Amino acid sequence: MTCCGAPKIVNLPKSASIYAVTRENDLLASSQKLGGKQFQTDFSVPQMHCIACIRSLESAVGNLPFVERVRANLSLKKISVVWNEGRENVLAIDQAITAAGFDHSAYDLNGDDDEQMNRSNKLLIALAVAGFAAVNIMLLSISVWSGADAETTRLFHLISGMIAVPAVMFSGQPFFRSALTALKAGRLNMDVPISLAVLLALGMSVYESLTGGKEAYFDAAVTLLFFLLIGRYLDNLMRDKARSAVVQLSRLATKGAMIVSADTTLQYLELDNIKPGMIVRVMAGDHIPVDGEIINGSSDVDRSLVTGESLPHPVEKGIDVEAGILNLTGTIDILVKRDARHSFLGEVQRMMEAAEQGRGYYTRIADRMARIYAPAVHLLALLAFAGWMIATGGDWHLSVYVAISVLIITCPCALGLAVPVVHVVAARRLFRQGIIIRDGSGFERLEEVDHIIFDKTGTLTSGMPQLSLPAKFKGFIESNDATIARTLASHSSHPFSKALTGFLNVPILDDIFDIKEIPGAGIEARISGQLARLGQSQWVRQIAKPESSNASQLSGLSFALENREVVTFEHSEELRGGSIPTIAELKWQGVEIEILSGDSHKSVKTIADRLSIDEIRYGQKPADKVSRINELQKQGIKVLMAGDGLNDSPALATAHVSIAPANASDIARYAADFIFTRESLTAVPFAMHIAKRSGSLVRQNFSLAILYNAIAIPFAMAGFVTPLIAAIAMSASSIVVVANSMRLNLDNKAQVKLSSRLQLDRGFTTQEKSDELSTISANSERHFA
């Protein structure tokens, strides 16, 4: 099979049918049901070394008719496959990966962490053996170079060969096995030219020693392998460092938990077997295994994973808790709401892993270059060999020597790492600040933003408004209508609904039917046989009695039963933490800002004035927000949408790039490219800064990779580079690209800029903040004039 050809499906003999059924069951057990008839299965592929491997895997699996989507992750050495239902399909995927020439297994991040350590240890042992052999052969070579006679030279060559052959056979296994597997599958990878070069140098040396030749290259062959292993080992370590955020997350996941059965006895279950509806008991000092609601007990928990705040947070019965947070003081029983795969921790892990898998502009460039890279390497080596054979009148020793150098020096590692390592490091940097990216291509799109649209409620504001009732409605609080209103509110995640649930201290009814939440309007249902609505005043008044519909001109959250009087709540809003320095910083950068909100003019204008935002649009329905974004993008303006509600979801999906808080509705979170888990809105300018730095580093990496090849290949073909120097240069190019990417961890400019604005959040009155913000805005206008 070629890289681009259709994958060969292996037909298992009858004797292997038991194994096939067992393998199929294991893969199905590790698969995740996505909804409908789609599943996702993740495979660990330890032999994935470069972008050519990625392309081979994605081509082999992607050509299967039932596969919807396939993405390979270089740093995690993992391939994720989304496929349509059918028990036999998962086994066909498994066979396609095998046919493509890759050993693999079902992916387990904790298990793969152990495997990665074992691979690193094996590389270290191989490196030690190669180093020991190289030193001893070098000592023998020094004697030869010092002018030993012919017999001594031949003896030392033979002794060197006795050391070199077993050393190369043992230490070269990481390269030889990978190359052999690739060739069996009819494809090429970076280990093929490396293996060819090492074996050519070794074979040529054995031939010279046995035929009494004057020169042997055992020292070059073993030292070459030694430096190749150094490069592979360091590359392995640096990739581990780049992906450590994902690994650290995996360590927060427990292996299992104690389940409280119906007869109150405790039973231990593995994490994958814990299902919604079960009751989990979590002791003090343990991490919470799954998302759920506390039904018994109270404790203090460390929610720094979610909020970034390390201070203990008290929890009690009725409070929701997330997987991965640490229970500090007391024993609590939790009613499981989501299994481990769909928990908060599982979602964060998937989004972190997705950071490397986006197929943005730069990644597509690397993909196209990788298609021609492997054949080009062998063609250049062949041309170098032929050219030197002609130029030297048939000196095959020198010609092979030059060809070996060309094979080694043209390694595609630097090119393959140019994009994904930057994205992994950037995702880790964002994660430390409570920001999660769902798609690696989001970095490229965020870098281009020149216009930001903010939703108001829940985005610019804290999302938890303070409600009150006008005097005329004071009797409502203790009426049966209040019970119906709170019941409706309990079925919505909108900030006003949550605020109302806390405001009304009345029971929640069970007999609720035909619940329907309408984006941009509100929620309605039939409760005790009556149609009830909670939401925007204009929409709610459509079912109220006619005289009530026109009697009140109040705007805001309203409630009414069919043909009954409208009750309208008054509310006040607090700005989200960090909103003032965020707007100041964005204005300083010259970014255009506007607010699109479904709220009333008065409500939107109040917030806009406090933040000195001039462009506002109020009373916006979801379609209006989408229309505005499309209008801007048709003008070539790159729009970032920041929102949190169900009604913001279409706009989040339409915008060039989008961001949402972690407490946004589920649909809004899935539509957004970035999620920020902390309360402060400073996540927005910080993410933009990291995106710009990421883009700069990716371009630098491409430049380094291209410059390396532009200089190294001509020098190697001209005979100025020995195989040893080629090995050092090839390893160094990969290490330089990874090290350049790691510089992103040293960039603190964004935090310095934001900290200089944070004074606006402390120690000032509202008027003083407004005055200071106006000064900053004026300065920025002069700065960008």
CA 741 – CA 495 distance, rounded (Å): 40
Q: Which of 94, 235, 291, 455 is catalytic?
A: 455
> Which parts of 494-648 are beta strand (E)?
512-518, 522-527, 530-536, 557-561, 567-568, 570-572, 592-596, 615-617, 639-642
**Encoded tokens for 323:** 């997987």
Sign, Cα dihedral of 605, 611, 614, 620: negative
Q: Are 462 and 643 in contact (CB under 8 A)?
A: no
Name the 3-class secondary structure at 451: strand
CA 583 – CA 591 distance, rounded (Å): 9
Q: By CB neighbour count within 10 A (0-12 exposed, 13-18 middle, 19+ buried), where does 266 fall?
A: exposed
CB-facing half-sphere around the CA of 208: CA atoms within 13 A: 21
CA 427 – CA 700 distance, rounded (Å): 18
Q: Which of 147, 102, 86, 106 is nearest to 23 (CA)?
A: 106
Q: Which of 410, 54, 8, 50 is nearest to 184 (CA)?
A: 8
Sign, Cα dihedral of 553, 503, 621, 642: positive
Q: Are 727 and 231 in contact (CB under 8 A)?
A: yes
Question: Please, which residues bridge with residue 42 across strands?
Answer: 80
CA 255 – CA 347 distance, rounded (Å): 17
Rg (Cα) of the chain, in Å, rounded? 32
Q: Are 76 and 112 in contact (CB under 8 A)?
A: yes
Percentages helix, strand, coil for the chain (3-state, rounded to 5) are: 55, 15, 30
Name the 3-class secondary structure at 222: helix
Q: What is the DSSP letter of 537?
A: H
**Encoded tokens for 428:** 């880790």
CA 652 – CA 162 distance, rounded (Å): 66
Q: Which of 659, 660, 654 is nearest to 633 (CA)?
A: 654
Mention every residue, 6+ apart, whose C-beta is less than 8 A from residue 36. Answer: none
Q: Are 414 and 736 in contact (CB under 8 A)?
A: yes
CA 46 – CA 120 distance, rounded (Å): 11
CA 162 – CA 139 distance, rounded (Å): 14
- In the annotation, is 455 catalytic? yes
CB-facing half-sphere around the CA of 656: CA atoms within 13 A: 21
**The one-letter amino acid at 195:** S
Question: Please, which residues bridge with residue 676 across strands?
Answer: 435, 661
DSSP 632-652: HHHTT--EEEE--SGGGHHHH
CA 291 to chain centre: 21
Q: Are 519 and 485 in contact (CB under 8 A)?
A: no
* Buried/exposed code over 646-669 (b: 16+ C-beta within 10 A; e: otherwise): bbbbbbbbbbbbbbbbbbbbebbb
Q: What is the DSSP letter of 8?
A: P
> Which residues are catalytically annotated?
455
